[in-house]
Structure 1
Amino acid sequence: MKFELITLLSKQFDKTTASRRVCFIRSLIAKLNLNGYTVEKEARHPHLASAKINFKVTKHGQTCWIELDNKSPRIRSLESIQSINEHGGNGFILLRNSFLSQHKKLGIDIISARS
């Protein structure tokens, strides 16, 4: 499921949409919903009691976690997704305003949403 989401979201948003966080979040959720995904915003982290993850995305009983950052991944985002991945879950970081191609940092997929 994670790779389906990465394909669906990678470089799919224009500059105007990506630059405004609220507009971007609405567009992101709409795109996911149109493709059959259920989205929960600010979901509780499954392993860190005091932490939240920007999006919990589910479809057909599978779950993937997405942290949303602007131009580069925050340390907190990396730690949150790393914790999920270490416990057998799936997650990645989506950057709104980055031109970086898809890459990994600390074994975590970092994806650019902006085309």
Structure 2
Amino acid sequence: MADDGPRYGQEGGPQFPITTTLEFPDWKIDRSIGMVFGVVVRSMGALKGFTAGFKAMAGGEVKQYTRLVEDSRRHAMDRMIENAQLVGANAIVSMRFDSSEVGQGLTEIVAYGTAVIVTAKS
């Protein structure tokens, strides 16, 4: 599958129920399958990183980094959703993000949560 860009949350993209809470208000959790995650490691690139470094020294938002992090989070969510679907889940609860530097100029973004099977409350 080509990785052309994040799909989650895009108009016409997949809609997969995800919440940061332990449950959904209108659905009951029939079964908890287990933890799922999606990982993305990104580099800003030398030239963009160099110019962004100058902007960071001046203060304020560094828009190149902001766009990169937002895009990376969406990609990590896409991968988490794919992994949840592989184990038969139809939703994710307790979703979180984590990030860390994993090398010079490399950032790891992880989206993780608990894969569950939900049905509408009667």
Higher Rg of the two aligned structures:
2
TM-score, L = length of structure 1 = 0.28
Higher relative contact order (CA 8 A, sep 6+): 2
**Structure with more strand by fraction:** 2
